[in-house]
Structure 1
């Protein structure tokens, strides 16, 4: 774990030296939700969950996990509200969480539609 901290410090040091003062303002380098802090990297990493949910659109509805879809929808919607309360306000994280909630809700609707239109499949399981 310490290796990752060292790599992070090295990359931030390079960014401090390479970026010009005007470029630092454009990319909001020193902002609490800028790329120098976890408030930026959290939504970047969390967006992979949204992409995975969008990838599940190709999966048949009978293969989707109900529990996973519920948890993604709930956490996405709960955390999208929380992102507007914390300081610094992180609109990027709020947007990613909202998209995660919508993706989870869409998968839940697909599961519900499948069980509604295929009641005989439900009784076999």
Structure 2
């Protein structure tokens, strides 16, 4: 059902595509394929990652940020191996990885600062 609906929408929309945009429309990773639409889902992760930038560090999850960093890195590489190469997916995954690594660095610096404060308090007690 959804496949038929999608094909009907594409067939209808094709009538309105200007000649200047035909190469993009007909491209193997163009709007007629999943290769074009899949990155939109990934950009949702990027937006969520940017939303977490202002989140207090103590509320961040190492596992979540680590998995975003790792999967972003792996899928960025994979998006350049598949045929057709999907640069839109590549950039979305790069941003997922960058936000994950950024959050991991925030967590690391926060925990390091806590350790230093703890050592200072122990020295003051002595």
Q: Which category describes the TM-score, using the shorter chain as reference length? A: 0.7 to 0.9
Of 22, 25, 30, 2:22 maps to 25
Q: Deviations over 1:58-95 (max 9, x none)?
A: 10000001111010000000111111111001111111
Q: After the TM superposition, which residues 1-125 of structure 1 pair with which residues of structure 2 at under 5 Å, given as runs? A: 2=1, 4-20=2-18, 22-25=19-22, 28-119=24-115, 120=118
Alpha-carbon RMSD: 1.5
Q: TM-score, normalised by structure 2?
A: 0.85
Q: Give the structure with the higher percent helix.
A: 2
Measured in 1, the distance between the counterparts of 2:82 and 2:38 equals 14
Structure 1 alignment gaps of length 5 or more: 121-125
Note the C-alpha offset of 1:17.
2.2
User: TM-score, structure 1 length as denominator?
Assistant: 0.85
Stretches (4+) displaced over 3 A:
none
Aligned residue pair count: 116
Between structure 1 and structure 2, the one with the greater Rg is: 2
